[in-house]
Amino acid sequence: MTTIEQASAPATGPDGQGSGRPRAGRRPLAAGAGLLSAGVALGGAELVAGLVGPQASPVVAVGDTVITLVPEPVKAFAIATFGESDKIALVVGTLLVIAVYAAVLGVLALRRRTPGVAGIALFGVVGAVAAATGPAGGPLDALPSLAGAVAGVVALLALLAPLTGPTAGAATTRPDDGVPPAERLRTSLGAGDRKGPGLDRRRFFLTGAAAAGAAVATGGAGRLLLRRFDVGGARAGLVLPAPASPAAALPAGADLAAAIGGLTPLFTPNRDFYRVDTALTVPQIDPAGYELSLTGMFDAPRSYTLDDLLGRSDVIERDTTLTCVSNTVGGRLAGTARWLGIPLGALLRENGIRPGSDQLVCRSVDGMTIGAPTRSALEVKDAMLAFGMNGEPLPVEHGFPVRMIIPGLYGYVSACKWLTGIEASTYDAFDVYWTERDWAARAPIKIASRIDTPAPLRRFPAGRRAIAGVAWAQTRGIGAVEVRVDDGPWLPAQLSPQVDADLWRQWVLPHDFAPGSYQLTVRATSAEGEVQTEERAEPFPAGSSGLHSIRVNAT
Ligand SMILES: Nc1nc2c(c(=O)[nH]1)N[C@H]1C(S)=C(S)[C@@H](COP(=O)(O)O)O[C@H]1N2
Ligand SMILES: [Mo]
């Protein structure tokens, strides 16, 4: 601490008397010093995180903590505003906050070093605590943030020194040091510059360049090291078994999208499949070390390796539409895939699940807990543990190597990704992640329909044109879809062939548009006769409801 105090002394020297002008000129440089120090801190932290693991990076850890702590309305706003870029938005936001914080620290530290050093130390501690206490964190995960903070402090002191160099200090604090006044002046001008004594621009920019180089080099090296954790290669090498029970054959003309531009395809390609989860870095599970453990209310619980699961004789293949509770009316947080896996009910029964369990607490490797109703897991046709999606191993973002799929329930109460544990429990005994945040504990998917084409507010030439979209009511099936133009009658749409109740259906209604502006509204009826309600509900806490209605213009 002594050196820091000494180093800061010159700043309060000659130009600190009252004029203030020279220091004002140094402020932008000091802010730059703060920014560069933050860069060095983050780069250093990334380098160490490259050795420890991706979850230990301070930006990731702090971002993860923000995700865990922010209230649901804010999260809903972020999803609504940034959609699937919400995570990028969070990282960019976190970096912006760090940048502003660092610039302010730099300016503060110009006068006195202590607040600057303390500020960086605080940042290190926040990162370290966030990383170490995260659901998948350990004490080792504190290391990158702490190392980064040390590097940041060193960089800050090195960068501030040329802004408040010892030249001025020597000249003022010891005026009678024997150096002739003229000589003193020359030293001051030579080592410093016109802004005032003690400011050595050249040294500042050289140190700055070195700091920037160090930040980029360590950050880049850290990123490279992190590739070791990537399981993409292992995933690509995985051979999926053939299903003992393949998916039902699709009737001819099953996919209407082939003929209608803008209509959602029957199957969602994996790269287009929506993604919703709290994971800032996608969990990487090495399939060789994978283990699924069953615990809790079972008579004879056991664990399964991935080979145990892949090698079973009861592998099924099923087509199911997955839906997120956060989907708004007309939204796109739904997708259909051909899933490959093993029947969930069979697995639970062979472990002797006890009748008293009404909730399965599903645990993912990143600490997420998802509470699925035991009864649905046992009784819903085609509930499964999936390892294949549309003919490939599960993509890493979609839960590689194993996730749960239960048709008819929103993803947050059924579709646990990166699944490593199933604890047979009860709703009374355990509150999972989302119910702790006041989302409904039980959440069947509400019947929904959406207009894909024409797009809202679209202008198109008057004449005959297809109005088309998709509708879903998993486990019950879609029986009918109707469209209303302005306040006219409900007109029945043509439906894609019924493949399975768990699969959405496409619908299409050709319509003659005279020039003008129209309000198009859609509503679905389940195969059981339930009519989609027009009563609006927000996604929170149990899923949105209401009719999708858009305005279009024929010219
Ligand atoms: N581990 C984990 N599993 C999860 C989630 C999550 O945040 N973490 N989100 C759930 C939610 S809210 C939904 S809608 C589905 C989304 O699955 P997808 O990203 O493959 O579309 O995953 C579910 N499984
Ligand atoms: Mo979801």
The predicted-structure confidence for 414-458, as pLDDT tens digits, reads as follows 999 999 999 999 999 999 999 999 999 999 999 999 999 999 998
Supply the residue whose CA is at minimum distance from atom 15 of ligand 1: 411
Residue 412 beta carbon below 6 angstroms from any ligand 1 atom: yes
- Residue from 272, 273, 277, 410 whose mutation best tests the ligand 1 pocket (most atoms within 8 A of CB): 277
Domains of the chain, residue spans: 3-228, 265-436, 448-554
Cα(230)–Cα(220) distance, integer angstroms: 16
Does ligand 1 come within 6 angstroms of the Cβ of 420? no
439 lines ligand 1 (CB under 6 A): no
**pLDDT tens digits for range 158-184:** 999 999 866 444 444 444 444 444 444
User: Which-ligand-closest: CA of 336?
Assistant: 1
Q: Are strands 291-296 and 419-425 parallel, antiparallel or unpaired?
A: parallel
Type of residue numbered 38: A
CA of 418, closest atom in ligand 1: 1
- Mean per-residue pLDDT over the chain, rounded: 90
Predicted confidence at residue 166, as pLDDT, reads: 61
Which of 201, 120, 114 is closest to 163 using CA atoms? Answer: 201
User: What mean pLDDT comes out for the span 276-288?
Assistant: 93
Higher pLDDT, 219 or 83: 219
For ligand 1, say whether the CB of 153 is within 6 Å of any of its atoms.
no
Of the two residues 82 and 205, the one the predictor is more confident about is 205
User: Can you tell me the mean pLDDT for 471-477?
Assistant: 98
pLDDT of res. 545 = 98
Least confident of 129-133, 185-189, 202-206, 410-414: 185-189
pLDDT value of residue 12: 38
Residue 428 vs residues 110, 414, 433, 434, 438: alpha-carbon distances, Å: 57, 18, 14, 15, 15
Atom number of ligand 1 nearest to Cα 283: 1
* Ligand 1 contacts CB of residue 434 (under 6 A): no
Least Cα distance to 386 among 374, 394, 376 occurs for: 394
**Contact between residue 326 and residue 541 where contact means Cβ atoms under 8 Å apart:** no
CA distance 278 to 65: 10
Q: State whether the beta carbon of 400 lies less than 6 angstroms from ligand 1.
A: no
Pairing of strands 548-554, 459-460: parallel
Q: Which pLDDT band, with edges at 50, 70 and 90, does 501 fall under?
A: very high
Q: How far apart are CA 80 and CA 311, in angstroms?
A: 41
Q: Which CATH number fits domain 265-436: 2.130.10.30, 3.90.420.10, 1.10.3720.10, 3.50.50.60?
A: 3.90.420.10
CA 297 to centroid of ligand 1, rounded, Å? 25
Ligand 1, residues 280, 412, 544: which to mutate, most atoms within 8 A of Cβ? 412
Name, in order, each residue with C-beta under 8 angstroms of 281's C-beta and a sequence gap of 6 or more.
54, 55, 57, 60
* Any ligand 1 atom below 6 A from CB of 274: yes
- C-beta 322 within 6 A of ligand 1: yes
Q: Cα(405) to centroid of ligand 1, in Å?
A: 10
Closest-approaching ligand to the CA atom of 539: 2
Q: Kindly state if the Cβ of 136 falls inside 6 Å of ligand 1.
A: no
276 lines ligand 1 (CB under 6 A): yes
> What is the pLDDT averaged over residues 405-412?
98
Is the CB of 415 within 6 Å of ligand 1?
yes
Which ligand sits closest to the CA of 326?
2
The tokens 């105090």 sit on which residue?
Answer: 5
Region 102-120: what's the mean pLDDT? Answer: 94
Using a cut of 0.95, tell me whether the model's pTM lies above it. no
Residue 464 Rama label (left phi>0; alpha psi -120 to 50; beta): beta
Amino acid at 466: A
Residue nearest to atom 12 of ligand 1 (CA): 412
- Residue 91 pLDDT: 87
**Average pLDDT over every residue of 471-475:** 98
| pLDDT the model gives residue 8 | 38
CA of 415 to the centre of ligand 1 (A): 6
104-113, 131-140, 142-151, 220-229: the lowest-pLDDT one: 131-140
Q: In this structure, which residue's CA is closest to atom 7 in ligand 1?
A: 277
- Which residue's CA is the closest to the ligand 1 atom numbered 6? 277
Q: How confident is the model at residue 39 (pLDDT cuts 50, 70, 90)?
A: very high
Question: Which whole number is the average pLDDT over 200-205?
Answer: 92
275 within ligand 1 shell (Cβ under 6 A): yes
Q: How confident is the model at residue 23 (pLDDT cuts 50, 70, 90)?
A: low
> Does ligand 1 come within 6 angstroms of the Cβ of 280?
no
Kindly state the tokens that stand for 8. 């800061």
pLDDT class for 383, splitting at 50, 70, 90?
Answer: very high
Q: Answer yes or no: CATH 2.60.40.650 is held by domain 448-554.
A: yes
Instruction: Tell me the CA–centroid distance for residue 139 and ligand 1, in Å.
Output: 27
- CB of 416 within 6 A of ligand 1: the answer is yes
Average pLDDT over residues 334-343: 98
Ligand 1 pocket test: which of 90, 276, 339 has the largest number of ligand atoms within 8 Å of its C-beta?
276
Single-letter code of the amino acid located at 386 = A
Q: What is the pLDDT of residue 10?
A: 37
Confidence band, pLDDT 50/70/90 cuts, at residue 306: very high
